Every structure is written in C-alpha cells, then in structure tokens.
Amino acid sequence: MLIPSTLKIYNASAGSGKTFFLVRNYLYVLLNSPYPDEFKRVLALTFTKTASEEMKKRILQCLKEFSNQIVKKEYFSLFDHLAKDLKLTKHQLYERSKKILFSILHDFSSFSKNTSTIDKFTYNIIRSFISNREVNLEMDTNRFLFKIVENLLYRLKNSEKWSNVLVQFSLEKLKKGKNWDIRKELFKIAHLMLEENNFFPIKKIQNYSLEDLIQLKNTLIKRTQKFEKECEKQGEKFFLFLRRTSIQKDSFIHSDLPRLFQKLQMKNIFFNPFNERLEKFIQKGIFYSKSSIQIHQKILIEKNKNKILSLYEETKFLYKKNISYYLLDKLFLKNISLLSIIHEIEKEFHFIKNEKKILLNAELNKILYEKIIQGTFPKIYEKIGMQYKHYFIDEFQDISFLQWNNIRILVENALSERGSAMIVGDPKQSIYRWRGGDAKQFIHLIYSKSKNYNKKLKTLETNFRSYEEIVKFNNFLYQSISKIFHSTTYKNIYQNSKQKIFKKSGGYVEINFISSLENKNYKEYIYSKIKNKIKKLLKQKYVLSDIAILVRNNEEGHFLSEKLVGDGFNVNTSVSLLIKNHLEIQIIINFFYILANPHCYQKRVTLIFMLLKNKFIRTKKKDHDFIMKILFFPLDLFLKKILSKNSLTLNKLYNQSIYNISEEIIEAFGLLNKKNTASIYSFLDFVYRFMKNIGNSIVDFLDYWESKKEKESIIISDHKKAIRVMTIHKSKGLQFPVVLLPFTDWNVFSKNQEGGWMNVSPHLYHGLNTIYLEIKSYLKRIKHDRNIRNFYENYLSNTVFDNINLLYVATTRSIEQLILFSKLENEKSVSFCIKNFLHEKKIWNEKKYKYSFGKEEKNY
C-alpha cells in the first residue's frame, strides 16, 4: 500500500516571498524528475492573469540563468539551494536546466496552459465536454443581465398569470413609498442567481414552483396576521381592564405599561416593545410613582396589582413564544414575491445563452461542480488525473468553495499516488468574499484532518519587501487592530501576524489627518496634499513610476487621475478615466438627445451653453440673447445657427448609422484634437459595440448609454514614466517604492452586500431550510431574537474582517515610503483604528495632524 504524500501549506503574509517559494518548489519538481518534459505533469493555478504571467516569467528566467555556465549573483543562492536539496552537482543541475528549458520552448503551449488562472482552467475543462464547441465566454455579466431583465419584463407583462404577480409586487412597493418600477429588483434577483455564494439556496428554491411559493407566502401572511391579532387582542384587553377598573393610564410610572399595550394594540411589534426600565419596575412590584399619583389611583392599582402583573406576564410569554417566527416571516415576505420569478429568469438565461452561443464567466464553477456531483463525465477527470501529478495553488484565501471542491479531487488523487501539492495563502489578504472567497476555508484546510493525505504547515515570517520602519509600523498597527474583532478566529489571525524584518534600517511612514475645518471640500483638499507630496518626492530623486496611489473604488481613482492629468502628470491607471466626463462626449450626447427629441429645449440650452463657453461657436450678442433668439427655431434652422461655418444639415444626418452621425458631429464642431484623441476614439468604439450587439436606434442608444456611462472609460496607454493610480484590489500582489493612500477613512462596517441566507426550520417554511433576508441596519435593533442577532453579527464580523484586510493589503504594498491621508470619522472608520493605535503608542495629540515614523529620505 502506497503511503500518501504530504500537502504543503504555506501561510504567507505580505512581502514574505510567496512567489519565490512557489517558483522554488516548482523548479524542484522539474529538476528532480529524469524527464525534461515533467512540466506537462505540473499544474500551477493562480487567481489573476498577472500572477500567472509573473510566475511563468520567473520560472523561465531561472531556467535560462541556470542554463548558463556562470550563474548570475542574484540567481546563485537559489541555484545553490536547489543543488543541495536535490543532491546534484552544479554541472548536473546546469545540464538538466538546459534540457528542461529546451523542452519547454519546443512545447510552450503546454507550459503556458498548465500555468494559468483557475477560471481559465475551469473554462478549458467545460469546453471539453459541452456539445457546442463554438460557444464564447461572456465576461460582462451586467450587460447580459440587463438584456434578461428587458426580455423578461416584456414577456411577463403579456402573461396573464405573471402580470398579476408583477402588479401585486409593484403595489406592495408603492404602499411602502418606493418606486413601482421593478427593473432594479429583477436585476437584483438575476444577479443573486449568478453569485456563487447563493448557489446552494437558489438550487433549493428552484425545486419550488410558482404555486408552491405562493402557497408558502399565504402561509406566512396568515401566520403573521394571526400573531398580530393576538397582540392586538392583548392590547385591547389591557385598555378594557383600565376602563372597567377606572384606572387612568397616566397613573403608571413613566406611562411605560400603557405605552407597551398601545404598541401591541397598534400591531407595532417588530421591535421589542418590552423595555428594560419597565421590566425592572415590574420585577420590583413598582407600578406608580408615590409622589405624583392621586391616592384613589394608588388604591385602585394596589387592588388590581396581581391582575395587571398576570396580564403583563401572559403577554410577555405570548410575545417571546412567537416573536422569532414572526420576525423571520416578516423579513422573508419582503423577498418571496421576487424569488418566485427565479424560474422565469432561469428560462431567459438559457434562451439568451443558446441564442448568443455564450457561457457566462460567473457560472463556470457552478457548471463544473454540478457535473462532478452528477458524475456524468468521469473520463474527463480521469484523463486530467492521469495527466497531472503535481499541483501548485496560489492565493488560496480567495478561492471559492466551488473552485476548491472542483480541484480538490484532483489534488487528493495526485497525493494518493505519490504526487505533490503546494498551497499558498494569507487570510489577511482575503478581499474577494463577494466572489465567493472566504479566508475560513483556508483556515479550515490548515486545521482539519484528512484520511487521504498528510499536511505540513509552514508560516513565512520574514518580510523581504519593505524597509524596517514600514514593517514595524504594520506590526504594531495590526496588533492594535486585532482587538476590534469579536471573532476569535479573526482576532488570532491578526494577533499572530507579526513579521520579521529583512531590510534593516530605513523606511518612512507618514500619517496625515485632516481637521474638521478642512473637511468642507475634502476631495479637493486631499488632491492638493497629494500633488504637493508628489512634487516633494520628485525632489527626493524619486521618479513618477516609483509612486503608486491606491484607492478603494473607481470613483476615487477617476477623480485623482483626471486631476493629475489636468495638472500635466503622466498617469498609468487601472481605474481609467470615465468617457462621460469629457466635454466632447457631452456635446455629442446632447446632440443625440436633440435629434431624438427636437422639442427638448432643455437639451438645446445645455448644448448651446457648452458650445459658447468653450468657444466652439462665437456670437456678438450676449449669451442669453443669442440663446433666446435661436432656442425655439425649427430643428434644421437651429442646427444652421449653431453650425454657421459648417454644411451639416438634417438631410445629411437622415438614414445614416449612429456611428456615421457621431463622426459628422465630431467633424462639424471640430471636436478632435491631440489632447482628446483617446476619449473620442473610446466613444466611437462604444458606439460600434452598441450597433454590433443591439441595433441602430438613437433612442435605444441613449437608454444604453445611461445604463453604461458610469463604467465606460478610457484606458490610458502604458507609460513607463508615470504615476500609477489603481484600486487596492488591483494592487494585490504588487509592490512599489512609494505608496500614497489618499482616502484612508472608509467605514469598517460598510459593505455593498444587500442580503444573506439564514438557516431556518424546514417544517415552518414548507421544506425550505434557508431563507433570504435583506441585511439592513435596523437588524441590529432586533436584540430579542438570538438567531437573527447571530445572523447579523456574523455579517458584521465578516464585513469588519474584509475592510481591515483591505487596509492590510494597502499598507503592505510599499518598499520605502507609505503615506496615508485620512479624516477623523466616527468610531466605525479605519481612521479611528489608526487613531487608537497612536493612542496605544502614547503619541496621540488632539492638536497634532501629522505623525511620522523613520526618516523621510530615499533608501536606494
């Protein structure tokens, strides 16, 4: 019997050289084999394409250097370590490296395919068993869902059965004072169906027909109404008792008791009406204030004290017995109408996918998981299992449950047959929970036992990236922050995160707080600080490409990028610049609106103002007089007046494509120049894509533009001598000499998550064991139901962890200098966490707005 191999697990904090360890272990496998094509039996999976390309590049570079008679100094240490570990002479290692490199270069496609992202690996497997090999991968999920919602609304409105459901749901929204248009809600449910985190609950609900869900809804309505009626009855019973006994309701201390029963009578029971003050007085037998109550009222209350207490206890027992079910029912009723449309959305999914011959990138893991569960294609996995003997998985903390379960059987098979597997991750860099990534999965893998293989955990403790002051700062900061976690798991992750220092001496950290006086124009003020800091860094002999500005979202990135470009700085940005913010695009769009609706005089005014202000048209008259003179002209004459030096007419625009009309407008106003080439051509590309995928209607184009304009952007071409502006998510795995964090003040409790699934008793929900609840701030006020409280607190705990992880990733990218800018928000912000850290260091001063660690100088 073969003894199973060991799964190597590396817990690798930021800057600990995880890529080096991956490459070293990968090379060990290749060089330890007698076959030069061993790379064909190695599968290395990363989370991003950038990480995949970096790994391939390093492997090839090392093999190239090892293939030289004289190994360069920077590669000699690795060369020497491998020779000792493999028990090879340097000449043997040199010869093997040459043969392996030669073999890779002669079958580079296999090497490239076997070192890829997890998504690409999954897609290739699915392509091998789907019947239609011509299918394309659709990456733009939102565009796909937008089409589904439009098709669905059109189809359902013409269905007698479904139109009633839609009308009822719209009326429910109107009653709550919300917009009756349900497009947004349909989009939300469609998106919910695609998210991996919802895979299992959605599968369960898909087993229920519309009639089943309507029946469940009616059950919940009856149950909630019954409890409300019982509470109303208790309230009426109390006030009837007061009338019969002539007790005045204002005789009770603080009027708490009458207020309780009044809430019950009004069915105002969602939030606990039993307050703590009333409970304390009831326990002590105090019903009235001795000093402020009439004597005959005291006598009446004392006489009926036992009856009042009995009614109170009876009501409290009734409330406690039923409130948990009532709350869950009320919360689930908010979403059950929409969930009933899941089957129709699913039909539309399949129809559009088949029509367009596409697969959605967001559904790949689910498709593969279902095939594995069904066991319908064992030959494919058998073939893969026979091909690969060694597995390397990077960024494991970001891998979803489905991704790991799809790969795990391959890994376990390799380990059982004397293969090898290495997994690298860092729970503190888990920032993709919304994609299904969960650090707890990595933690579970570390501490759980397996019958199929042994495990060996190694923690990479040394930071090879950052200079001493930056490592020390982060060590102290996250030791301090660990105290905010209620979860023992999360607390331990950060308490045990202290790193050893490799680069002794040097490094600089600066924290800049913005005072309340400067908060009025916060973003502009931060930019002025950023600009001054960049100028200072350039005087310190840094170059623009040494500097990275990391932001939390695209909006912040757009703002800073456009300001920097406007001030003449070269910028490389992954967040890019929004097309909609550029004047020439605004002119074209307004022109389109006027063509689509000639009598929209508001758009005419807007267009004329833009043209006058930016000197595209000139007039001797005052602006106001000129506008009033031409505003109400027929469209052909209006165009003639704003295009006095151009022959563009309505006849010239009729029967042309939107693309040609766009070109005519650009030509007519002379919009194209050296500075705006990128924005003009990006817009024309957008128009071309619209025409190719949707059609040639100006009205439809304007609707599509409104739905896309917040994302359509210009990707600035790569410039080596430029400042980099990117989101923190994009920066993961990268490093920069200088990092600026301009808005380090986000709320640690905030997250763009609208709902979650809560476990419930199936017998209460017609067999459903999970129900979907919207996560709203009012849930924190529901303290009398343990299940809902735990559900909400678990959500908050995960949210805090995600937001602190985002800060961790941001503050660990820098090599030499880390500069933070923050306004002091409330206790829920990361800036408050930083303030607490300074308090613990005993250096906080209410009048001091700048703190620094280390010397502000260039270290190389």
567-597: pLDDT as tens digits: 888 888 766 567 887 888 988 998 889 888 8
Whether 170 shows a pLDDT value over 50: the answer reads yes
Which of 425, 440, 494, 430 lies closest to 794 in space, CA to CA?
440
Q: Alpha carbon of 108 to those of 40, 118, 124, 402, 456: distances in Å? A: 10, 19, 17, 30, 32
Is 51 within 8 Å of 395 (Cβ atoms)?
yes
**pLDDT > 70: what percent of the chain?**
93
Q: Considering the domain 579-714, what is its CATH architecture?
A: Orthogonal Bundle (1.10)
CA-to-CA distance for 384 and 629, rounded, in angstroms?
75
Q: How confident is the model at residue 847 (pLDDT cuts 50, 70, 90)?
A: confident
Average pLDDT for 145-173 = 72
> Across the strands, what pairs with 115?
44
Joined tokens for residue 303 = 């006489």
Tens of pLDDT along 649-676? 777 777 788 898 888 888 888 888 777 7
pLDDT of 731 reads: 92
Angle between the 210-245 and 305-339 helix axes, to the nearest 10 degrees?
Answer: 160
Contacts 24+ apart (CB under 8 A), 832-837: 833/477, 833/480, 833/481, 833/484, 833/748, 833/804, 833/807, 834/477, 834/511, 834/744, 835/513, 836/480, 836/481, 837/476, 837/477, 837/480, 837/481
In this prediction, residue 1 carries a pLDDT of 47
Please list the residue range(s) of the chain that carry CATH number 3.40.50.300.
6-131+361-460, 478-576+719-749+803-854
Which CATH number does the domain 478-576+719-749+803-854 belong to among 1.10.357.10, 3.40.50.300, 3.90.79.10, 3.30.360.10? 3.40.50.300
Which regions of the chain carry the CATH code 1.10.486.10?
A: 579-714
- Alpha-carbon span 259 to 253, nearest angstrom: 11
- State the pLDDT at residue 818: 98
- Two tokens, residue 122: 């999954």
Report the CATH number of the 6-131+361-460 domain: 3.40.50.300
Q: How far is CA 469 from CA 120, 428, 448, 815, 819, in A?
A: 40, 20, 37, 10, 12
Q: What is the spatial distance between Cα 110 and Cα 378, in angstroms, rounded to a whole number?
A: 23
Q: Can you give the pTM of this predicted structure?
A: 0.84
pLDDT grade for 439, boundaries at 50, 70 and 90:
confident
In the predicted model, what is the mean pLDDT of residues 603-617? 82
Q: What is the pLDDT of residues 77-105, one digit of tens each?
A: 999 999 999 999 999 999 999 999 999 99
Confidence at residue 4, expressed as pLDDT on a 0 to 100 scale: 67
Q: Are 397 and 414 in contact (CB under 8 A)?
A: no
Does the pLDDT at position 686 exceed 50? yes
Residue among 806, 5, 16, 14 at smallest CA distance from 462:
16
Q: What is the pLDDT of residues 210-241, one digit of tens each?
A: 889 989 999 999 999 999 999 999 999 999 99
Cβ pair 388, 42 in contact under 8 A: yes
**Token pair for 436:** 């299904």
User: With contact defined as beta carbons under 8 Å apart, do 814 and 736 qualify?
Assistant: yes
Helices (H), 34-117: 49-66, 73-86, 90-106, 108-114
pLDDT grade, residue 186 (50/70/90)?
confident
Contact assessment for residue 94 and residue 67, using Cβ atoms and an 8 Å cutoff? yes
